[in-house]
Structure 1
Amino acid sequence: MFFMLNILGVIIVMGIVYLCSPRKKEVAWRAIATLLVLEILITWFMLKTTIGGWIINKIASFFTWLIDCANEGIAFVFPSALANDTVDFFFSALLPIIFIVTFFDILSYFGILPWIIDKVGWLISKASGLPKLESFYSIQMMFLGNTEALAVIRGQLANLKENRLLTFGIMSMSCISGSIVGAYLSLVPAEYVFCAIPLNCLNALLVVNMLNPVKISKEEDIIYQPAKEEKKDFFSTISNSMLIGMNMVIVIAAMLVGYVALTAAVNGLLGIFVHGLTIQKIFSYIFSPFAYLLGLPTKDALYVAQLMGTKLATNEFVAMMDLKKHLSSLAPHTVAVAATFLTSFANFSTIGMIYGAFSSLLSEEKSAIIGKNVWKLLISGIAVSLLSAMLVGLFVW
């Protein structure tokens, strides 16, 4: 029964996105079918095969090594921080971001990361029939994050029509950044984080193809390559990366403090009118129909719905910290769908980040396309996270 609900959930979510599309006749169903089959194969491979499990373990070990390297730097500056078994979230999950951002920027500096992004993006474009730039961007934002990926293709964004610009705004809701993976691994199981990463990438293409289908000519189907003179020297690059990493730590910490405090304040005000009423309870009922479609029993559905609402209203870290407390008491299927759903940047604050990036890179007239279509960004972010969670849920019971 729950398995069939899970399958039904995929159909319903795709149906809702299709109904929201303003140009239903232009939807490329061949591309959607290809992407869906590819996602099912990837999920099966990663969760149900020995080789897939081995790959996940190796990738997880690689990020564990990165975090261990980061901890060497943290221990040097804060010698008492890592000296005991009880390490707080700031030191164990946030500060390692400084080194991980730097490491990924070094890979970019020597052309290793751009090469990987380019080749994988080309393969996705060939498999799906979707434009090269969109396929390239879906991979790029997975490694770099939305604002950084937008900055890389800024030269081409300036020449795109508004409708195609909206495509990149919609896709940006479903990103993840390689620099933040280490923080996720400290909170939820690695296998679901690494499943969510490629699934979010492909589902972003799938959803945007329904929500905002775009037809382009071969002449328009090109990828911007940054000029060599844009490249700084090595030590300037890594020094700037460290400062960017520290800025990310401060921003995430500020958001966590602010949103947790704001949630507590809202809950306090709600409690004045209705005893025991919280924003988490409100969201649990709003999102509960979708949580049931993840193939969950009533008790788990209400809890996962609460996590879904918390992520949307605050961010994934707040929800992941709550999930971490309950991992041992939840069924494997519940853990799988919840962890997968939470692994992305899809929330209200991300819309502000995307609008800010567009405003800084493009004219006010062109960046206004984001403000006019906030509802499409929200639908995309939620739909991508739901589809990724539902696909993973099909293979974990």
Structure 2
Amino acid sequence: MHYFVGLIGFIIVLLVAFSMSSQRQNIAFKRVIFMLVLQFILGFILLRTSVGTVIVSALAAVFDALLKFAASGVAFVFSGIANKGSAPFFLNVLMPIVFISAIIGILRYIKILPLFMKGVGLALSKINGLGKLESYNGVASAILGQSEVFISIKKELPHLSEQRITTMSISAMSTVSMSIVGSYMALLQPRYVITALVLNLFGGYIISAIVNPYKLSETEDLLAIEEDQKQTFFQMLGEYILDGFHVAITVAAMLIGFVALIAMINFIFAKVTGLSFQEILGYIFAPLAFLSGISRNEAVSAGSLMATKLVTNEFVAMTELAKGNFHFSGRTTAIVSVFLVSFANFSSIGIISGAMKGLNEEKGNLVAKHGLKILLSATLVSFLSGIITGLIY
């Protein structure tokens, strides 16, 4: 039964994207179909094969080692603050972002990361039919983050059309930053995090190709990546360490504010209606959760987490799921986990448009103008990845 419902949900997601399309005559249907097939193949490899298990285990081991190294630095600074045997969220989940950000900085400094992003972007452009810059942007967003990625293409921004800016923003909002993947793995099973990274990358290309199709001339399809300003190694390292700390503090501040607000709103709604705000959101999102392949008796609870992620951010929803209060089946856990791994939420509109305005005010205004379209497209990517996960599981 869930396969049938999942297929209906799969078709509905594509139809919604098609209904949003600005120039349907430009949709490259063969490319879209090929990428959809590729999504299923990659998802199947990661979730259902021994090869996928080896890949996931290896990547999880890398991040586990990084988290252990990070713990050494955290323990040195915060030793004695936490009770013995306790695991404070800020120290164990957020503070490792500082160390992983430093690793990313080193890989960029020695030119490994830029070569990887550019090479993979060029290769993907042959598959997805999008521009080289758009393909690079999708890969770079998954590594650098939704705001930082635009710094690497700031020289190109003045020359980009409204459509290209929209596509890049959809890709940026559909992915997550590699610097916080380790934090996600502390809350969710690593195989779901890695599966989401792969599915969302292609999902961003697929939804963009349907919602916002266009054709580029050879003179427009150029790939120029802004190099980092010349710095000494330790100048760079200090910058990335502070950037990582800034991200960790920002996430912590947002979590404090959002979780407190939800607690207050839940209290008010419970007093007035007898139901919490999250329960009401769960009932609203239950049909969408059901169409994702989630069973009817779990749809309300799953819908509540999906809505929480959209209204607040992915960390709030992940921490709710990680508390163990939801007793989901394996399939539902997989679908919800994959759905949560993206930046598709309302606050991301402000983050992307703000970052863009800092580089080019005109392009930042375009992002704000299409903010809801970008958010809906990125949310469709999350649903598409979740549905495919449910069909494969």
TM-score normalised by the chain length of structure 2: 0.97
Give yes or no for the alignment of 1:239 onto 2:231: no
Superimposed CA distance per residue, residues 87-132 of structure 1 (whole angstroms, 9 cap, x where no aligned partner)? 1111110000000001011111111111211222122111222211
1:248-397 equivalences in 2 (<5 Å): 248-274=247-273, 276-326=274-324, 329-363=327-361, 365-396=362-393
Superimposed CA distance per residue, residues 3-60 of structure 1 (whole angstroms, 9 cap, x where no aligned partner)? 1111221111111111111222221112211211111111111112111110100000
Q: Which region of structure 1 is more displaced relative to structure 2, 54-63 or 3-12?
A: 3-12
* Contact 1:44/1:395 (8 A) holds in 2: yes
1:273, CA displacement in angstroms? 2.7
1:174-213 equivalences in 2 (<5 Å): 174-213=174-213
CA distance in structure 2 between the partners assigned to 1:103 and 1:217 by the alignment: 37
The alignment-based identity, stated in percent, is: 37
Pick closer, same or farther for the CA change 1:369–1:244 going to 2, 3 Å.
Answer: same
Give yes or no for the alignment of 1:162 onto 2:162: yes
1:171, CA displacement in angstroms? 2.1
1:81, CA displacement in angstroms? 4.8
Superimposed CA distance per residue, residues 369-389 of structure 1 (whole angstroms, 9 cap, x where no aligned partner)? 122212211211210111111
1:77-88 equivalences in 2 (<5 Å): 77-81=77-81, 84-88=84-88
Q: In the alignment, residue 280 of structure 2 is paired with which amino acid?
A: I
Q: In the alignment, residue 317 of structure 1 is paired with which amino acid?
A: F
SS in 1 for 2:155: helix
Q: In the alignment, residue 259 of structure 1 is paired with which amino acid?
A: F
Q: In the alignment, residue 307 of structure 2 is paired with which amino acid?
A: G
* Contact 1:31/1:130 (8 A) holds in 2: no
CA distance in structure 1 between the partners assigned to 2:78 and 2:272 by the alignment: 45
* Contact 1:74/1:95 (8 A) holds in 2: yes
Unaligned residue ranges in structure 1 (runs of 5+): none
1:328, CA displacement in angstroms? 7.9
The alignment covers a number of residue pairs equal to: 393
Pick closer, same or farther for the CA change 1:39–1:231 going to 2, 3 Å.
Answer: farther
Give yes or no for the alignment of 1:42 onto 2:42: yes
Q: Which region of structure 1 is more displaced relative to structure 2, 348-357 or 127-136?
A: 127-136
Q: Which region of structure 1 is more displaced relative to structure 2, 215-224 or 78-87?
A: 78-87
* Contact 1:75/1:81 (8 A) holds in 2: no
* Contact 1:284/1:309 (8 A) holds in 2: yes
CA distance in structure 1 between the partners assigned to 2:383 and 2:86 by the alignment: 34
1:277, CA displacement in angstroms? 2.4
CA distance in structure 1 between the partners assigned to 2:390 and 2:211 by the alignment: 24
TM-score normalised by the chain length of structure 1: 0.96
CA distance in structure 2 between the partners assigned to 1:291 and 1:164 by the alignment: 31
1:163, CA displacement in angstroms? 2.2
CA distance in structure 2 between the partners assigned to 1:29 and 1:81 by the alignment: 57
Alignment correspondent of 1:62: 62
